[in-house]
Amino acid sequence: MQTGQRTAVVAIGGNSLIPDPKHPDVPHQWDAVRTTARHIADMIEEGWNVVITHGNGPQVGFILRRNELAAHELHMTPLDLIVADTQGSIGYMLQQTLDNEFTRRGLPRMALTLVTQVLVDPNDPAFHHPTKPIGRFLTREEAERFAAEGWHVVEDAGRGWRRVVPSPEPIAIIEEHAIRDAVRQGWVVIAVGGGGIPVVRNAKGELRGVAAVVDKDRASGLLAWRIHADLFLISTGVEKVALNFGKPNQQWLDRMTVSEAKRYMEEGHFAPGSMLPKIQACIQFVERTGNPALITNPENITRALRGETGTRIVPG
């Protein structure tokens, strides 16, 4: 890493790319990414080396829908290639907006996007119990058609049906050494987009993509551990983590020890598919490294780094 500088892995959520679901078009995505780039540049200006990871859920859904609409003329795109496509497109947007921000501020830095593969176990139980929703909500008739094509389809709380895919545990970041070396050379690296392209090794030891989605926060935490990051920061839709979220007795948290976080999880304070995987990823990083994790929203990243807001997860 650059001498004298601390390194953070910053995992940005879908709200950093599409903050308003009613305006998911590309011009609005550019506006959102420019805002995110300013927050990241603030952090870099304060002396941090940064590796950026990002979600891709809405973008995967858009590509799946385009596949459906064009199925009478074009071949379908496998899920691993869809993840790779979104790594390239979202990475390009982050890369360009960051470089423009660096130029505006006179910062001698540049951003680099690295298409990243994440190794998973082909025997992971997740492959037998798909749980990760992808794509749009479906009617019963559409769900039956997708099920006939081999998709796993589940009913979602009365809102319709959705396709679900496996979400196996990430084991290794294939391009880990390249990411570490790029950070040492001063690059701002964008990697592990969408949790990484899930791959397995076959009997010959060759890598092959699989139809799955790796949780972005878990993969980001793994990367943070493997590159010896000083901080793992999850940028999400809330300024702080809360107990009893959305209830009259809601309580914002400035700090949690690992043992407290585990107790809160057991008490059911963190929703699956929302805050729970973020807390789990933070716990895993803190236990492995002894370094802190931080959760806040994009506009408060700089204040959270100064200890003024956000929720910090620490050993203990």
Total domains, the chain = 2
Amino acid at 62: F
Residue 216 annotated to the active site: yes
- Of the candidates 91, 216, 240, 297, the residue annotated as catalytic is 216
Give the whole-angstrom CA distance, residue 219 versus residue 117. Answer: 10
pLDDT-derived band at 150, boundaries 50, 70, 90: confident
- Of the candidates 49, 132, 291, 297, the residue annotated as catalytic is 132
CA 172 to mean position of chain CA atoms: 16
Closest CA to 216 of 232, 240, 239: 232
Domain limit, last residue, from 165, 187, 222: 165
Give me the CATH number covering residue 291.
3.40.1160.10
- Let me know how many helices (H) and strands (E) the chain has, helices first: 9, 17
Do the beta carbons of residue 133 and residue 156 sit within 8 Å? yes
Give the whole-angstrom CA distance, residue 293 versus residue 284. Answer: 10
pLDDT digits (tens, 9 = 90+) for 112-132: 999 999 999 999 999 999 988
Residue 278 annotated to the active site: yes
Q: Which residues contact 268 (CB under 8 A, 6 or more apart)?
A: none
- Other beta carbons within 10 angstroms of residue 267's beta carbon come to 10
Residue 132 annotated to the active site: yes
Do the beta carbons of residue 243 and residue 251 sit within 8 Å? yes
Report residue 220 as tokens.
Answer: 């980001």
Q: Which residues contact 276 (CB under 8 A, 6 or more apart)?
A: 265, 270
Q: Are residues 190 and 294 in the same domain?
A: yes
Q: Which residues contact 271 (CB under 8 A, 6 or more apart)?
A: 245
Q: Are residues 84 and 107 in the same domain?
A: yes
Give the whole-angstrom CA distance, residue 73 versus residue 52. Answer: 37
Q: Would you list the DSSP string of 168-194?
A: PPP-EETTHHHHHHHHHTT-EEE-SGG
Instruction: Name the pTM for this structure.
Output: 0.93
Domain limit, last residue, from 113, 146, 165: 165
Decide if 90 is inside a domain: yes
pLDDT-derived band at 15, boundaries 50, 70, 90: low
Closest CA to 213 of 52, 95, 86, 90: 86
Decide if 267 is inside a domain: yes
pLDDT digits (tens, 9 = 90+) for 249-308: 999 999 999 999 999 999 999 988 889 999 999 999 999 999 999 999 999 999 999 999
Decide if 1 is inside a domain: no
Give the whole-angstrom CA distance, residue 221 versus residue 219. Answer: 5
Decide if 30 is inside a domain: yes
Q: Are residues 212 and 302 in the same domain?
A: yes
- Of the candidates 195, 278, 291, 297, the residue annotated as catalytic is 278
- Of the candidates 14, 61, 91, 310, the residue annotated as catalytic is 14
Q: Are residues 258 and 156 in the same domain?
A: no
Q: Are residues 148 and 113 in the same domain?
A: no
- Identify the domain containing residue 187 by its residue range: 6-121+171-314
